[in-house]
Chains A and B, each alone.
Chain A
Amino acid sequence: MNTRIAHIASNTFREAVRDRVLYNLIAFALLLSGAAILVGQISIEIEKLVVINLGLTAVSLFGVVIAIFIGIGLVSKEIEKRTLYTVLSRPVRRWEFIVGKFFGLAGTLVVNTFFMAVGVFGALFYVSHKFVRADALILVALYFIILEFLIICALALLFSSFSSPLLSAVFAFSLFVIGCFADDLRNFAGMAHGFSRWLATGAAYLVPNFSAFNVITSIAHEQPVAGQLILQNTLYALFYATMALSGAVLIFEHRDLK
């Protein structure tokens, strides 16, 4: 990574920390510790399942919300505050600005996820009093969640590069929801005929497919994840994020900033 991108990324990270983004960790800690203590009293035999399911779901949803709400303002806020002109008046290319912002946001989410993961393992230890080998599978689920974040960050930046923050939030969140139904869209394409089939198939491949990243339920039941799935999800996330980021760069390169 060149130094200019690294500087923009580190500034983006610092800005997110200054915006008190990491405060969500407090809510997360309260949620998880509350669940770990209470569930044993109000349910039967699912303490560990709840800690894993609730912990990983919260990591995922908190991260998605952060990715969308920070990502949509990354470009527009800089234009609004006119700080973008200061940055671009230096020897910084527009694509470097976009890529730097992406890495800054992704870094923020990775740090956030790291602390949440510590919380999940802490709560798990509290309810189980020990770790077993299968608990390591949680790391795979966390890795998939981070891959999911990369895609959402790139999409939020893509929308932020040409739209207002409000519309960008609507677009990004809608795409996240559609992405969760991507398997259904593919099934629908399989059942359709003629033009509808082509249209649905095209849409199914265009929207992000988040269903393959969600292994929380199976991991909660200690079911292993295939190495092939880890590899393919990694490649898919990298390709899809690169595609969305390239789109953002293309739009931002040609945007009239006067």
Chain B
Amino acid sequence: MKPRQKTTLIAGACLVLSLAASSFVLHRTDQLRPQGTLDEVLFLSSPKVIKRASLGYDGLMACIYWTRAVQYFGYRHHYFAASYNLLAPLLEITTHLDPHLLVAYEFGTSFLAPKPPHGAGQPERAIELMEYGIQNNPDNWRLYYDLGFVYYMELQDYKKAAEAFERGSHVPNAHPFLKVMAAQMAEHAGEYETARMLWSATYQNTQDKQIKENAVEHLRALRVDEDIQHLQEAVTRFGERTGRLPASMAELVTAEGLAGTPVDPNGHPYKLTPEGRIEIRVPDDFPFATKGLPPGYKPSPKYHALQ
């Protein structure tokens, strides 16, 4: 073998081996500190400074910050985190960099407003974000709709919700549904019916698969909540009539003259506990249900809850 070939061979082998060794060491180091600190730090928190530093390429920076917000929320949501401290600042930076990035308002609100673990539990920040979006995109009726949605769903503020829907109904080409919603809010109509209308409208007015899935989950949970409430009322009636609790679901069904054993949207029969409580058989199937959950029930965390 010529000396030059020998050098090439040794240098090539060294290159491959060192690359493999450095990757192995890095992998072991990552195992020592599973949660990198980078995700939890905002080196620059001022939207104005970041906008200046982007040298006019703020559209690309907005996309980068939006992706970071999605990743941050997705990661923490996946592990049932209890806090989302960086979410609001990330969304604020994103929308200041590109005030017309509508997706950041629409999804951002649904990330911020719901209570943990489904969201950050910051409806006030969601409202601020939406008002900023409306200020910059006054002709987009969906933003008014989302604003009203937060007021109704998270804050139960019917007056503000009605105002938001009313404002949106005046926008050119607004969906006629906004006028109906404004009236509905003003009348404080039946809670389930209104919520069902809102989620159905959300389902119909979006092209996004994830929003559609989310709406379907909420509609399923609404049906469960309503079923549980009706069955619980039936148990109370039974108790008032007979002076005791029904011994089984079959006895309750017979006493109430129901068509058959009531089942949840997945086809599982509801459970009647000896204490007279109606419960869902598999609570994890309905993450948004608020009724019929066993006492002390917590969603099963995949790993451990982030704080």
Binding site for B on A (CB under 8 A): 39, 42-46, 49-50, 52-54, 57, 60-61, 177, 180-181, 184, 210-211, 214, 216-218, 220-221, 223
Chain A CB count within 10 A is highest, among B57, B71, B107, for: B57
Q: What residues on B are CB-neighbors of A184 within 8 Å? A: 52
Give Cα distance in the complex from A221 to B71, angstroms: 23
13 further contact pairs, Cβ within 8 A, besides A53-B63, A211-B56: A42-B67, A44-B66, A45-B107, A46-B67, A49-B101, A53-B57, A53-B60, A53-B62, A57-B60, A216-B57, A216-B60, A217-B58, A217-B62
Contact with A along B88-110 (1 / 0, CB 8 A): 00000000001011010001000
The reply to whether B67 and A54 contact each other, CB–CB distance below 8 Å, is no
A-B contact pairs, 8 of them (CB 8 A): A45-B107, A46-B66, A49-B63, A57-B57, A60-B57, A181-B52, A218-B100, A223-B100
Contacts A181-B52, A210-B56, A214-B57: A46 and B63 contacting too (C-beta < 8 A)?
Answer: yes
The reply to whether A221 and B100 contact each other, CB–CB distance below 8 Å, is yes
Contacts A45-B208, A46-B67, A181-B52: A217 and B103 contacting too (C-beta < 8 A)?
Answer: no
> Which residue in chain B gives the minimum CB-CB distance to A220?
B59
**B70 at the binding interface (Cβ < 8 Å):** yes
Give Cα distance in the complex from A83 to B307, angstroms: 68
How many residues in B have their beta carbons less than 8 Å from beta carbons of A? Answer: 20
Question: Smallest distance from the beta carbon of A222 to chain B beta carbons, Å?
Answer: 10
The reply to whether A45 and B103 contact each other, CB–CB distance below 8 Å, is yes
Interface residue SS majority, chain A: helix
**B55 at the binding interface (Cβ < 8 Å):** yes
Give Cα distance in the complex from A42 to B72, angstroms: 11
The reply to whether A54 and B60 contact each other, CB–CB distance below 8 Å, is yes
The reply to whether B103 and A46 contact each other, CB–CB distance below 8 Å, is yes
The reply to whether B210 and A44 contact each other, CB–CB distance below 8 Å, is yes
Within 8 A of A (CB), among B33-60: 52, 55-60
Q: What residues on A are CB-neighbors of B58 within 8 Å? A: 217
Give Cα distance in the complex from A54 to B67, angstroms: 13
The reply to whether B63 and A50 contact each other, CB–CB distance below 8 Å, is yes
Chain B CB count within 10 A is highest, among A42, A45, A211, for: A45
Give Cα distance in the complex from A214 to B70, angstroms: 27
The reply to whether A53 and B59 contact each other, CB–CB distance below 8 Å, is yes
Question: Smallest distance from the beta carbon of B170 to chain A beta carbons, Å?
Answer: 23
Question: Smallest distance from the beta carbon of B142 to chain A beta carbons, Å?
Answer: 13
The reply to whether A42 and B57 contact each other, CB–CB distance below 8 Å, is no
The reply to whether A214 and B56 contact each other, CB–CB distance below 8 Å, is yes
Q: What residues on B are CB-neighbors of A42 within 8 Å? A: 67, 70-71
Q: What residues on B are CB-neighbors of A50 within 8 Å? A: 60, 63
Binding site for A on B (CB under 8 A): 52, 55-60, 62-63, 66-67, 70-71, 98, 100-101, 103, 107, 208, 210
Give Cα distance in the complex from A221 to B104, angstroms: 13
Q: What residues on A are CB-neighbors of B57 within 8 Å? A: 53, 57, 60-61, 214, 216
The reply to whether B101 and A39 contact each other, CB–CB distance below 8 Å, is no
Give Cα distance in the complex from A61 to B56, angstroms: 11
Question: Smallest distance from the beta carbon of B100 to chain A beta carbons, Å?
Answer: 5
> Which residue in chain B gives the minimum CB-CB distance to A47?
B63
Question: Smallest distance from the beta carbon of B39 to chain A beta carbons, Å?
Answer: 13
Question: Smallest distance from the beta carbon of B38 to chain A beta carbons, Å?
Answer: 15
Give Cα distance in the complex from A61 to B208, angstroms: 33
Q: What residues on A are CB-neighbors of B103 within 8 Å? A: 44-46
Give Cα distance in the complex from A48 to B66, angstroms: 14
Q: What residues on A are CB-neighbors of B67 within 8 Å? A: 39, 42-43, 46
Q: What residues on B are CB-neighbors of A54 within 8 Å? A: 60, 63
Give Cα distance in the complex from A52 to B100, angstroms: 15
Give Cα distance in the complex from A50 to B71, angstroms: 16
> Which residue in chain A gives the minimum CB-CB distance to B68?
A43
The reply to whether A216 and B59 contact each other, CB–CB distance below 8 Å, is yes
Give Cα distance in the complex from A61 to B57, angstroms: 10
> Which residue in chain B gives the minimum CB-CB distance to A39?
B67
Give Cα distance in the complex from A46 to B100, angstroms: 12
Question: Smallest distance from the beta carbon of B158 to chain A beta carbons, Å?
Answer: 30
Give Cα distance in the complex from A218 to B59, angstroms: 8
Question: Smallest distance from the beta carbon of A257 to chain B beta carbons, Å?
Answer: 37
Question: Smallest distance from the beta carbon of A52 to chain B beta carbons, Å?
Answer: 8
Q: What residues on A are CB-neighbors of B62 within 8 Å? A: 53, 217
Q: What residues on B are CB-neighbors of A57 within 8 Å? A: 57, 59-60
Q: What residues on B are CB-neighbors of A180 within 8 Å? A: 55-56
> Which residue in chain A gives the minimum CB-CB distance to B57?
A57
5 smallest A-B Cβ distances: which pairs?
Answer: A217-B59, A43-B67, A214-B56, A53-B60, A53-B59
Chain A CB count within 10 A is highest, among B55, B98, B210, for: B55
> Which residue in chain A gives the minimum CB-CB distance to B208?
A45
Q: Tell which of B66, B98, B208 touches A43, judged by Cβ atoms closer than 8 Å.
A: B66
Chain A CB count within 10 A is highest, among B58, B59, B70, B101, for: B59
Q: What residues on A are CB-neighbors of B52 within 8 Å? A: 181, 184
Contacts A49-B101, A180-B55: A44 and B70 contacting too (C-beta < 8 A)?
Answer: yes
The reply to whether B107 and A44 contact each other, CB–CB distance below 8 Å, is yes
Q: What residues on A are CB-neighbors of B101 within 8 Å? A: 46, 49
Question: Smallest distance from the beta carbon of A48 to chain B beta carbons, Å?
Answer: 10
